[in-house]
Protein backbone atom coordinates (compact mmCIF):
# COMPACT_ATOMS: atom_id res chain seq x y z
CA UNK A 1 0.00 0.00 0.00
CA UNK A 2 2.84 2.41 0.78
CA UNK A 3 4.25 1.94 -2.72
CA UNK A 4 0.84 2.65 -4.26
CA UNK A 5 0.38 5.74 -2.08
CA UNK A 6 3.77 7.13 -3.08
CA UNK A 7 3.03 6.53 -6.77
CA UNK A 8 -0.46 8.05 -6.62
CA UNK A 9 0.42 11.10 -4.53
CA UNK A 10 1.62 13.52 -7.27
CA UNK A 11 -1.30 12.64 -9.55
CA UNK A 12 -3.94 13.01 -6.84
CA UNK A 13 -2.47 16.32 -5.67
CA UNK A 14 -2.41 17.57 -9.25
CA UNK A 15 -6.04 16.52 -9.72
CA UNK A 16 -7.09 18.53 -6.67
CA UNK A 17 -6.77 21.69 -8.75
CA UNK A 18 -9.55 20.46 -11.05
CA UNK A 19 -12.52 21.55 -8.86
CA UNK A 20 -11.25 25.14 -8.81
CA UNK A 21 -10.75 25.18 -12.58
CA UNK A 22 -14.20 23.62 -13.06
CA UNK A 23 -15.96 26.10 -10.76
CA UNK A 24 -14.26 29.15 -12.27
CA UNK A 25 -15.01 27.85 -15.76
CA UNK A 26 -18.69 27.38 -14.98
CA UNK A 27 -18.81 30.86 -13.42
CA UNK A 28 -17.22 32.50 -16.46
CA UNK A 29 -19.63 30.61 -18.72
CA UNK A 30 -22.54 31.77 -16.53
CA UNK A 31 -23.57 28.17 -15.80
CA UNK A 32 -23.71 28.28 -12.00
CA UNK A 33 -27.38 29.11 -11.67
CA UNK A 34 -29.21 32.31 -10.87
CA UNK A 35 -26.44 33.59 -8.58
CA UNK A 36 -23.12 32.38 -10.03
CA UNK A 37 -21.01 34.54 -7.73
CA UNK A 38 -22.56 33.01 -4.60
CA UNK A 39 -22.31 29.49 -6.04
CA UNK A 40 -18.62 29.99 -6.85
CA UNK A 41 -17.81 31.46 -3.43
CA UNK A 42 -19.58 28.66 -1.57
CA UNK A 43 -18.18 25.95 -3.84
CA UNK A 44 -14.62 27.11 -3.23
CA UNK A 45 -15.28 27.39 0.50
CA UNK A 46 -16.67 23.86 0.66
CA UNK A 47 -13.61 22.47 -1.08
CA UNK A 48 -11.39 24.38 1.36
CA UNK A 49 -13.22 22.66 4.23
CA UNK A 50 -12.97 19.22 2.65
CA UNK A 51 -9.24 19.57 2.10
CA UNK A 52 -8.62 20.97 5.58
CA UNK A 53 -10.45 18.02 7.14
CA UNK A 54 -8.53 15.57 4.93
CA UNK A 55 -5.30 17.20 6.09
CA UNK A 56 -6.30 16.64 9.71
CA UNK A 57 -7.20 13.01 8.99
CA UNK A 58 -3.78 12.11 7.57
CA UNK A 59 -1.92 11.54 10.86
CA UNK A 60 -4.64 9.46 12.57
CA UNK A 61 -5.07 7.33 9.45
CA UNK A 62 -1.32 6.82 9.20
CA UNK A 63 -1.14 5.66 12.80
CA UNK A 64 -4.22 3.44 12.62
CA UNK A 65 -3.31 1.77 9.32
CA UNK A 66 0.48 1.77 9.45
CA UNK A 67 0.61 3.31 5.95
CA UNK A 68 3.64 5.53 6.53
CA UNK A 69 3.57 6.99 3.01
CA UNK A 70 0.48 8.97 4.04
CA UNK A 71 2.80 11.36 5.88
CA UNK A 72 3.90 12.66 2.47
CA UNK A 73 0.31 13.63 1.64
CA UNK A 74 -0.23 16.03 4.54
CA UNK A 75 1.84 18.89 3.14
CA UNK A 76 0.17 18.85 -0.28
CA UNK A 77 -3.34 18.61 1.14
CA UNK A 78 -2.64 21.45 3.56
CA UNK A 79 -1.32 23.70 0.80
CA UNK A 80 -4.38 22.97 -1.33
CA UNK A 81 -6.61 23.79 1.66
CA UNK A 82 -4.82 27.14 1.94
CA UNK A 83 -5.13 27.76 -1.81
CA UNK A 84 -8.88 27.07 -1.84
CA UNK A 85 -9.39 29.25 1.24
CA UNK A 86 -7.53 32.10 -0.46
CA UNK A 87 -9.58 31.63 -3.65
CA UNK A 88 -12.76 31.58 -1.56
CA UNK A 89 -11.87 34.94 -0.02
CA UNK A 90 -10.71 36.35 -3.37
CA UNK A 91 -13.97 35.37 -5.05
CA UNK A 92 -15.93 37.05 -2.24
CA UNK A 93 -13.87 40.26 -2.38
CA UNK A 94 -13.93 40.48 -6.16
CA UNK A 95 -17.32 39.10 -7.22
CA UNK A 96 -19.44 39.95 -4.19
CA UNK A 97 -17.90 43.30 -3.23
CA UNK A 98 -16.28 44.42 -6.49
CA UNK A 99 -12.85 44.61 -4.84
CA UNK A 100 -13.85 47.80 -3.02
CA UNK A 101 -12.16 47.86 0.39
CA UNK A 102 -14.74 50.19 1.95
CA UNK A 103 -17.56 47.90 0.84
CA UNK A 104 -15.73 44.86 2.25
CA UNK A 105 -15.19 46.55 5.63
CA UNK A 106 -18.82 47.61 5.77
CA UNK A 107 -19.97 44.10 4.91
CA UNK A 108 -17.73 42.55 7.57
CA UNK A 109 -19.24 44.90 10.16
CA UNK A 110 -22.71 43.71 9.19
CA UNK A 111 -21.79 40.01 8.84
CA UNK A 112 -19.09 39.09 11.40
CA UNK A 113 -18.89 35.49 10.16
CA UNK A 114 -16.81 36.86 7.27
CA UNK A 115 -14.29 38.22 9.80
CA UNK A 116 -14.06 34.74 11.35
CA UNK A 117 -13.31 33.25 7.93
CA UNK A 118 -10.67 35.90 7.22
CA UNK A 119 -9.02 35.14 10.56
CA UNK A 120 -8.88 31.45 9.64
CA UNK A 121 -7.09 32.38 6.42
CA UNK A 122 -4.61 34.60 8.28
CA UNK A 123 -3.75 31.72 10.62
CA UNK A 124 -3.22 29.47 7.61
CA UNK A 125 -0.62 31.83 6.13
CA UNK A 126 2.24 30.97 8.55
CA UNK A 127 1.36 27.28 8.28
CA UNK A 128 1.58 27.37 4.49
CA UNK A 129 4.78 29.45 4.62
CA UNK A 130 6.49 26.93 6.91
CA UNK A 131 5.36 23.77 5.12
CA UNK A 132 8.75 23.24 3.52
CA UNK A 133 11.82 21.34 4.67
CA UNK A 134 13.95 24.47 4.99
CA UNK A 135 11.42 26.04 7.37
CA UNK A 136 11.34 22.87 9.48
CA UNK A 137 15.15 22.93 9.77
CA UNK A 138 15.22 26.63 10.71
CA UNK A 139 12.42 26.41 13.27
CA UNK A 140 13.42 23.07 14.71
CA UNK A 141 11.08 20.10 14.87
CA UNK A 142 9.56 20.96 18.27
CA UNK A 143 8.72 24.58 17.42
CA UNK A 144 7.49 23.57 13.97
CA UNK A 145 5.09 21.01 15.46
CA UNK A 146 3.86 23.54 18.04
CA UNK A 147 3.20 26.10 15.30
CA UNK A 148 1.34 23.62 13.10
CA UNK A 149 -1.02 22.67 15.92
CA UNK A 150 -2.69 25.97 15.00
CA UNK A 151 -4.41 23.99 12.26
CA UNK A 152 -6.97 22.83 14.84
CA UNK A 153 -7.74 26.46 15.69
CA UNK A 154 -8.13 27.15 11.98
CA UNK A 155 -10.55 24.23 11.72
CA UNK A 156 -12.65 25.52 14.63
CA UNK A 157 -12.80 29.01 13.08
CA UNK A 158 -13.71 27.55 9.68
CA UNK A 159 -16.46 25.46 11.24
CA UNK A 160 -17.82 28.51 13.11
CA UNK A 161 -17.69 30.53 9.88
CA UNK A 162 -19.69 27.87 8.06
CA UNK A 163 -22.18 27.33 10.89
CA UNK A 164 -22.74 31.07 11.25
CA UNK A 165 -23.31 31.40 7.51
CA UNK A 166 -25.79 28.50 7.44
CA UNK A 167 -27.67 29.76 10.51
CA UNK A 168 -29.56 32.25 8.34
CA UNK A 169 -31.17 29.40 6.42
CA UNK A 170 -31.13 26.98 9.40
CA UNK A 171 -29.48 24.24 7.38
CA UNK A 172 -27.17 22.41 9.75
CA UNK A 173 -27.03 18.78 8.57
CA UNK A 174 -23.72 18.94 6.68
CA UNK A 175 -22.20 21.23 9.32
CA UNK A 176 -23.05 18.66 11.99
CA UNK A 177 -21.18 15.93 10.08
CA UNK A 178 -18.03 18.04 9.84
CA UNK A 179 -18.38 19.03 13.50
CA UNK A 180 -18.62 15.37 14.53
CA UNK A 181 -15.49 14.46 12.55
CA UNK A 182 -13.59 17.39 14.09
CA UNK A 183 -14.74 16.40 17.58
CA UNK A 184 -13.38 12.88 17.00
CA UNK A 185 -10.08 14.28 15.76
CA UNK A 186 -9.75 16.60 18.74
CA UNK A 187 -10.60 13.72 21.07
CA UNK A 188 -7.90 11.60 19.44
CA UNK A 189 -5.38 14.44 19.78
CA UNK A 190 -6.28 14.95 23.46
CA UNK A 191 -6.01 11.26 24.21
CA UNK A 192 -2.60 11.10 22.52
CA UNK A 193 -1.39 14.10 24.54
CA UNK A 194 -2.55 12.52 27.80
CA UNK A 195 -0.81 9.25 26.90
CA UNK A 196 2.45 11.09 26.19
CA UNK A 197 2.19 13.00 29.47
CA UNK A 198 1.67 9.78 31.42
CA UNK A 199 4.61 8.15 29.65
CA UNK A 200 6.87 11.09 30.58
CA UNK A 201 5.74 11.22 34.21
CA UNK A 202 7.79 8.23 35.51
CA UNK A 203 10.92 9.53 33.78
CA UNK A 204 10.44 12.97 35.34
CA UNK A 205 10.14 11.52 38.85
CA UNK A 206 12.98 9.07 38.35
CA UNK A 207 10.75 6.07 39.02
CA UNK A 208 10.07 3.20 36.65
CA UNK A 209 6.54 2.89 35.19
CA UNK A 210 4.19 1.05 37.46
CA UNK A 211 3.14 -2.46 36.48
CA UNK A 212 -0.17 -4.07 37.08
CA UNK A 213 -0.04 -6.79 39.68
CA UNK A 214 -1.93 -9.93 38.95
Q: Give, in order, the Cα–Cα distances in Å from 123 to each of 120, 158, 188.
A: 5, 11, 22
R_g of the chain computed on alpha carbons:
20
Q: What pLDDT, on a 0 to 100 scale, did the predictor assign at position 92?
A: 92
Q: What pLDDT, on a 0 to 100 scale, did the predictor assign at position 202?
A: 64
Share of the chain above pLDDT 90, in %: 43
Q: Does the pLDDT at position 125 exceed 80?
A: yes
Q: Give the residue-averaged pLDDT of 148-176.
A: 87
Q: What is the pLDDT of residues 12-27, one digit of tens each?
A: 999 999 999 999 999 8
Q: Give, in order, the Cα–Cα distances in Å from 107 to each of 38, 114, 188, 207.
A: 15, 8, 38, 60
Res. 213 pLDDT band, cuts 50 70 90: very low
Q: What pLDDT, on a 0 to 100 scale, did the predictor assign at position 214?
A: 36
Number of other CB atoms surrounding residue 73 within 10 Å: 22
Res. 155 pLDDT band, cuts 50 70 90: very high
Nearest to 89 by CA among 57, 118, 60: 118
According to the per-residue pLDDT averaged within each range, which of 5-9, 69-73, 122-126, 207-211 is highest? Answer: 122-126
Residue-averaged pLDDT of the chain: 87
Q: How far apart are CA 9 and CA 101, in angstroms?
A: 39
Q: Give the residue-averaged pLDDT of 75-84.
A: 95
Q: Specify whether the CB–CB gap between 74 and 127 falls below 8 A.
A: no
Res. 150 pLDDT band, cuts 50 70 90: very high
Per DSSP, the residues of the chain read -HHHHHHHHHHHHHHTTHHHHHHHHHHHTT-S-S-HHHHHHHHHHHHHHHHHHHHHHHHHHHHHH--GGGHHHHHHHHHHHHHHHHHHHHHIIIIITTT-HHHHHHHHHH-THHHHHHHHHHHHHHHHHT-SHHHHHHH-HHHHHHHHTHHHHHHHHHHHHHHHHHTTTT--HHHHHHHHHHHHHHHHHHHHHHHHHHHHHHHHHT-PPP----
Res. 167 pLDDT band, cuts 50 70 90: confident
Pseudo-torsion of CA 25, 39, 159, 114, nearest 10°? 100
Any idea which of 98-112, 123-137, 165-179 has the lowest mean pLDDT? Answer: 165-179
Q: What pLDDT, on a 0 to 100 scale, did the predictor assign at position 205?
A: 57
Q: Specify whether the CB–CB gap between 118 and 89 falls below 8 A.
A: yes
Amino acid sequence: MDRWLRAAQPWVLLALGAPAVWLWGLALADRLGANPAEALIRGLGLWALRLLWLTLLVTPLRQWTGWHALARWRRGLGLWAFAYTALHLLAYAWLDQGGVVVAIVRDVAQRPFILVGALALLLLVPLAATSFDRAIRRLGAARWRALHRLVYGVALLALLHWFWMRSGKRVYGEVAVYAAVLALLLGWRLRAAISRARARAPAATGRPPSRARG
